[in-house]
Amino acid sequence: MLLFGRFPTYLFATTGAVAIALALRMNLALPLVASRSLDPEQVNAIASQTTVIIAQGLQEGDIEARQEWNPGSGVIVARDGNTYSVLTALHVVRTREVVYGVRTSDGKVHQVDDVETQSNIIPLGEELGEFGETIEGLDLAIVTFTSAQDYPIAVMEDSPHIDRGAPVYISGWPNPEDESARRVREFREGNLTDIANPPSDDGGYSLLYTNETKRGMSGGPVFNQEGELVGIHGRGRAQEDRYCVDPELSQNNSCGIQTLHFIDRVQREQLALSFAEPPVDPEVIAHGMTNMEQADTIEDIYKDFTFLRSLLRDGPSGGCSSLLLGEPCN
């Protein structure tokens, strides 16, 4: 595990460059470097194990607001003991002082209490305007939950260089077209179109890619061909005056925030996060391939996110507070 980003990687990269230069001077044979490129199916297996869905806890009576209930996506990026850190888009968790749930690949929903304490959600930007029309800083937030289970952590890519035209993959949990309680994780293939430098003032967006995305996939991971996390998806194609980075490019591209800027923020603020080193563990890929069907389908998301009120606050359990959406209360 690497603490505060990937400083050792930069050290090793410099050392490797010196070694290559010395080898060329001495006319020595250079070692062959094996490609770490993965098939899309393998990247999808990684995404299946590390992508989570994030939503507010539902209460009896929320049926009237079902259309206003908009889950988002996220990705597990760090672990410290039994505390996991999920990286998501800030606008996914814009409502504060509520209880969120984080659903992991094993189907468990882990509660994130933002009522008693606000330390479980760390915003990396600030929404401005009455409805968060713009974001100062990064459209990112860190959400922490606790569990004794072993969950895979996405390997973080820290290189500032990404080839334009290179394959990129988006993973997330889109909302269905109707009010169906069923959800299926989607994996979208595409290519990197451009990298904005500097990032946009509104949310820190810098990645533009051709991947088609849907509402609900915001906060989901953007992977490269090596299965490494290179960004967080934030917005789909431009709609009217809503766009990111560039209005013309945004017409045919979705956009995200490069993880390089997240790592820089972690280092500057000295956040105690330990990231997984590359390459991706083959066991994560193997487990993802065999467990994908179970991990990628939620038969009843309303049931999963309807929490007992006694778990949210110190109220009594049972009664109407523990009903699922749409059930009568006598």
Residues facing residue 52 across a β-bridge: 74
Compute the half-sphere exposure of residue 225: CA atoms within 13 Å on the CB side of its CA.
Answer: 13
Q: How much is the pLDDT for 326?
A: 46
Q: What is the rounded distance in angstroms from the CA atom of residue 94 to the CA atom of residue 90?
A: 6
- Indicate the average pLDDT of the chain: 82
The answer to whether residue 322 scores a pLDDT higher than 80 is no
Q: What is the rounded distance in angstroms from the CA atom of residue 309 to the CA atom of residue 323?
A: 10
Give residue-wise pLDDT tens across range 52-91.
Answer: 999 999 876 665 555 568 899 999 999 999 999 999 999 9
Give me the count of residues in the chain. Answer: 330
Q: How much is the pLDDT for 162?
A: 81
Q: How much is the pLDDT for 306?
A: 87
**Residue 318 burial by CB count (10 A; 0-12/13-18/19+): exposed, middle or buried?**
exposed
Q: What is the rounded distance in angstroms from the CA atom of residue 121 to the CA atom of residue 82?
A: 16
Q: Between β-strands 274-275 and 109-113, what pairing exists: parallel, antiparallel or unpaired?
A: unpaired
Check the CA dihedral 82-83-87-89 and report its sign: positive
Query: For residue 173, what are the CA distances in angstroms to 63, 105, 294?
Result: 21, 12, 14
pTM value?
0.83
Beta carbons within 10 angstroms of residue 252's beta carbon: 11
The answer to whether residue 208 scores a pLDDT higher than 90 is yes
